[in-house]
């Protein structure tokens, strides 16, 4: 009976709190109507607060409503959230009752205070996700979005902004509420950001414990290349590698470890990524102990600590995602399978130390101290430095900036320093879940950078030193249909990169970043301009799986894409990709060295068209 009385008082208190929270009308930005006061309540992510209504109008509206007999009105996002809160509260009471024999059940007043504290962190507007302390919120804000994350693969760093686990965050709020202190809001937990390009769209954790939150990812693709390369090899991409074959792009197994403010994350990369990502890093060629072998099967591996300062500070060391270029390394999180060049050709990971500082629930400042530009080690004698700033004032706007400087990123060329700025904005401009078109958003990214020293110049040709720079952009627009079960994304971009220092080297005769190839040079001043466009259709029957169809058109001003003749010598790779190959498989240092035997040349084209089919899974 005591447990029943506690539950009755708790539910009564909870319902009263919910009614008070639901009293104000919800508003939204993305309906395209009047925004001077407030808009409709269809979009859950607006930060605009509702204004008090005129009492006379309210009474008239009530009388008018009483005089009509209408069909039941569908539940709003806020009403659904309130019902979810009641269900979670009932589960919590059941757990406490189960522990009552051990004296572990919390007093009703403490639980009510906890519930009120959580409710107090909610904005006055409608939202689709639960408070940050719940597993649903942790999952919703997890993964990839732009930038280094607190828990792994999301730009906001909110897999576990607080301590690495939602129950720990809840405990912190309980302690603050019991002590009479206002609970600090979890960063980026005030709205649902699963719509963002680069963020996973999963809202619920399939499994979770106090110590470990597992994560499993699978990316399987079939690529149809209209160039029909006879060796089935595709170059110029960090996502697509073979044609006319079913290939496992990535299998990731790992998750987040979290206990007592100590945090760690591990994610593997079995499949094509374990070969194709390390080959783009030239730093293992410097010194002993081959780093590309040591890290080949790891995409993320770091450990760190959370400090309960401001709205949270995380210090992590190891390999972590960079999100330079907006897109996530994991294709499940992205709007498209093949991102444009400013994403595909910029870093997916860093090896070093990061500090994530959350001054408010809307802002993250993240400085980096790293070995180099997507590198396991240093290219010369100087490390790289960078910083990310992420600002989300409300649920429909995300502003991201990544800055990098001072690293010497050309192997064996000390004194050549790289600078790069990558900046993105994402806006959700439409959100009406009950309509056929349920949501719409766009992302715009612009990149600018250069290198100077070591025989090159940032601005024009000076003293015989050619210009070495990077300029590019990409734009994507996405529409969701039928309550987000289907989506269509249209987009593309363009780059200009004289010196080719960010151009992905074609794997001609097995060439890698350390070896290079004489068939596609990356010398100072070498020109490279390219553009692309794509259309992507997604079917998402469940939150954990995506079926993807995509068409890509890519073009360059120089021969670059694999043609029908392929990029493999007649007898296979001869083991000397840095030299010219003869028709008999031998290697020579010059193009005239083959003599009567004849020189083999790869078949490169200026245009590539292909269809990408993929099944993407994330738990």
Picking from 356-360, 476-480, 595-599, which range would have the lowest pLDDT averaged per residue? Answer: 595-599
Chain mean pLDDT for the chain = 80
* Cβ atoms of residues 364 and 156 within 8 Å: yes
Residue 136's closest CA among 93, 200, 72, 211? 200
Give the DSSP H/E element, type plus range, for residue 294: helix 291-294
Residue 72, Ramachandran bin (φ over 0: left; ψ between -120 and 50: alpha; else beta): beta
pLDDT at 155: 55
Q: C-alpha angle with apex 574: 569 to 580, nearest 5 degrees?
A: 70
pLDDT at 79: 67
Strand, helix or coil at 391? Answer: strand
Walk me through the domains of the chain, giving residue ranges and CATH numbers: 215-255+317-567+602-618 (2.40.160.10)
pLDDT in tens, 548-573: 999 999 999 999 999 999 999 998 99
Measured in whole angstroms, the distance separating CA 437 from the mean position of its chain's CA atoms is 24
pLDDT band at 461 (very low <50, low <70, confident <90, very high): confident
Residue 614, Ramachandran bin (φ over 0: left; ψ between -120 and 50: alpha; else beta): beta
pLDDT in tens, 63-74: 444 444 444 556
Mean pLDDT of 419-427: 96
Which backbone phi and psi does 138 adopt, to 5 degrees? -60, -45
pLDDT at 22: 43
**Distance set, CA 35 to CA 272, 313, 345, 438 (Å):** 48, 35, 39, 20
* Cβ atoms of residues 163 and 150 within 8 Å: no
pLDDT at 41: 34
Answer whether residue 379 shows pLDDT above 80.
Answer: yes
pLDDT at 464: 79
Percentage of the chain beyond pLDDT 90 is 59
pLDDT at 78: 61
Does residue 458 or residue 142 have the better pLDDT? 458
**Distance set, CA 376 to CA 105, 407, 561 (Å):** 50, 14, 27
Residue 130's closest CA among 145, 140, 143? 140
Does residue 148 or residue 493 have the better pLDDT? 493
pLDDT at 178: 52
* Cβ atoms of residues 424 and 443 within 8 Å: yes
pLDDT in tens, 236-267: 999 999 999 999 999 999 999 999 999 999 99
Does residue 39 or residue 497 have the better pLDDT? 497
pLDDT at 562: 96
Cα(147)–Cα(158) distance, integer angstroms = 11
Answer whether residue 135 shows pLDDT above 70.
Answer: no
pLDDT at 110: 47
* Cβ atoms of residues 216 and 619 within 8 Å: yes
Does residue 397 or residue 152 have the better pLDDT? 397
Percentage of the chain beyond pLDDT 70 is 72
Q: Per-residue b/e over 364-376, b at no fewer than 16 CB within 10 Å?
A: bebebebbbbbbb
pLDDT band at 88 (very low <50, low <70, confident <90, very high): confident
pLDDT at 367: 96
Helices (H), 22-66: 55-66
Does residue 405 or residue 177 have the better pLDDT? 405
Mean pLDDT of 503-518: 94
pLDDT at 36: 36
Mean pLDDT of 457-474: 87
* Cβ atoms of residues 305 and 190 within 8 Å: no
Picking from 148-152, 392-396, 443-447, which range would have the lowest pLDDT averaged per residue? Answer: 148-152
Picking from 88-92, 263-267, 523-527, 575-579, which range would have the lowest pLDDT averaged per residue? Answer: 88-92
Picking from 30-39, 149-158, 586-595, which range would have the lowest pLDDT averaged per residue? Answer: 30-39
Q: Identify the burial level of 64 via C-beta atoms within 10 angstroms of its C-beta, where 0-12 means exposed, 13-18 middle and 19 or more buried.
A: exposed
Strands (E), 236-377: 246-259, 262-268, 298-307, 313-321, 349-360, 363-370
Answer whether residue 169 shows pLDDT above 50.
Answer: no
* Cβ atoms of residues 336 and 199 within 8 Å: no
Picking from 61-75, 252-266, 387-401, 431-445, which range would have the lowest pLDDT averaged per residue? Answer: 61-75
pLDDT band at 412 (very low <50, low <70, confident <90, very high): confident
**Distance set, CA 444 to CA 155, 332, 389, 423, 455 (Å):** 15, 20, 16, 8, 33
Residue 31's closest CA among 20, 44, 21? 44
pLDDT at 156: 55
Answer whether residue 485 shows pLDDT above 80.
Answer: yes
Mean pLDDT of 431-438: 94
| Strands 587-588 and 397-408, bridge-based pairing | unpaired
Mean pLDDT of 98-104: 52
Answer whether residue 39 shows pLDDT above 80.
Answer: no
Measured in whole angstroms, the distance separating CA 453 from the mean position of its chain's CA atoms is 33
Sign of CA dihedral 566, 569, 573, 577: negative
Mean pLDDT of 191-199: 94
């Amino acid at each position: 009976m005591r447990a029943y009385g506690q539950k009755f008082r708790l539910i009564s208190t909870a319902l009263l709190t919910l009614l008070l929270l639901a009293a104000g009308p919800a508003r939204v930005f993305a309906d395209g109507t009047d925004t001077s006061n407030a808009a409709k309540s269809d979009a859950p992510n607006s930060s605009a607060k509702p204004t008090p209504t005129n009492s006379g109008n309210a009474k008239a509206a009530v009388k008018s409503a009483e005089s009509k007999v209408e069909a039941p009105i569908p539940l709003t996002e806020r009403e659904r959230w309130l019902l979810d809160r009641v269900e979670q509260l009932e589960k919590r009471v059941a757990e406490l009752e189960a522990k009552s024999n051990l004296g572990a059940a919390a007093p009703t007043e403490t639980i009510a205070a906890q519930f009120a504290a959580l409710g107090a962190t909610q904005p006055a507007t409608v939202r689709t996700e639960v408070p940050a302390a719940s597993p649903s919120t942790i999952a919703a804000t997890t993964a990839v979005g732009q930038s280094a994350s607190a828990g792994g693969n999301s730009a906001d760093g909110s897999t576990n902004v607080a301590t690495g686990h939602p129950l720990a965050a809840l405990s912190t709020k309980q302690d603050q509420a019991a002590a009479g202190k206002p609970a600090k809001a979890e960063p980026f937990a005030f709205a649902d950001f699963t719509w963002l390009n680069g963020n996973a769209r999963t809202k619920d954790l399939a499994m979770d414990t106090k110590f470990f939150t597992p994560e499993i990812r699978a990316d399987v693709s079939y690529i149809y290349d209209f160039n029909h390369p006879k060796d089935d090899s595709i170059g110029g991409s960090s996502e697509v590698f073979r044609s006319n074959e079913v290939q496992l792009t990535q299998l990731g197994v790992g998750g987040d470890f979290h206990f007592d403010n100590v945090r760690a994350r591990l994610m593997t990369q079995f499949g094509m990524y374990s070969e194709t990502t390390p080959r783009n890093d030239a730093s293992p060629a410097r010194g002993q102990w081959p780093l590309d072998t040591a890290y080949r099967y790891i995409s993320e591996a770091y450990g760190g600590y959370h400090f309960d300062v401001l709205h949270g500070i995380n210090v992590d060391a190891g390999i972590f995602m960079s999100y330079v270029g907006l897109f996530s390394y994991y294709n499940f999180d992205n709007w498209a399978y093949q991102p444009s060049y400013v994403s595909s050709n910029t870093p997916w990971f860093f090896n070093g130390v990061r500090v994530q500082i959350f001054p408010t629930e809307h802002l993250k400042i993240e400085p980096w101290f790293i070995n180099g530009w997507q590198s396991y080690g240093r290219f010369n004698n100087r490390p790289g430095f960078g910083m990310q700033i992420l600002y989300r004032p409300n649920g429909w706007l995300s502003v991201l900036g990544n800055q990098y400087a001072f690293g010497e990123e050309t192997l064996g060329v000390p004194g050549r320093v790289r600078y790069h700025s990558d900046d993105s904005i994402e806006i959700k401009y439409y959100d009406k879940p009950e309509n056929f078109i349920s949501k719409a958003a766009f992302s715009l990214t612009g990149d600018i950078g250069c290198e100077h020293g070591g025989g090159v110049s940032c601005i024009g040709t000076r003293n015989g030193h050619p210009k070495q720079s990077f300029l590019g952009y990409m734009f994507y627009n996405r529409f969701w249909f039928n309550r987000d079960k289907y989506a269509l994304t249209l987009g593309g971009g363009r780059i200009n990169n004289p010196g080719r220092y960010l151009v992905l080297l074609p794997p001609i005769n097995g060439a890698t970043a350390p070896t290079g190839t004489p068939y596609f040079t990356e010398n100072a001043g070498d020109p490279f301009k390219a553009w692309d466009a794509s259309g992507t259709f997604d079917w998402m029957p469940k939150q954990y799986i995506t079926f993807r169809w995509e068409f890509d058109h890519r073009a360059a001003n120089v021969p670059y894409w694999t043609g029908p003749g392929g990029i493999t010598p007649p007898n296979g790779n001869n083991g000397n990709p840095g030299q010219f190959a003869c028709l008999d498989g031998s290697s020579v240092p010059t193009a005239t060295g083959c003599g009567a035997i004849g020189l083999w040349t790869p078949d490169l084209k200026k245009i590539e068209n292909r269809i990408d089919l993929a099944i993407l899974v994330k738990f």
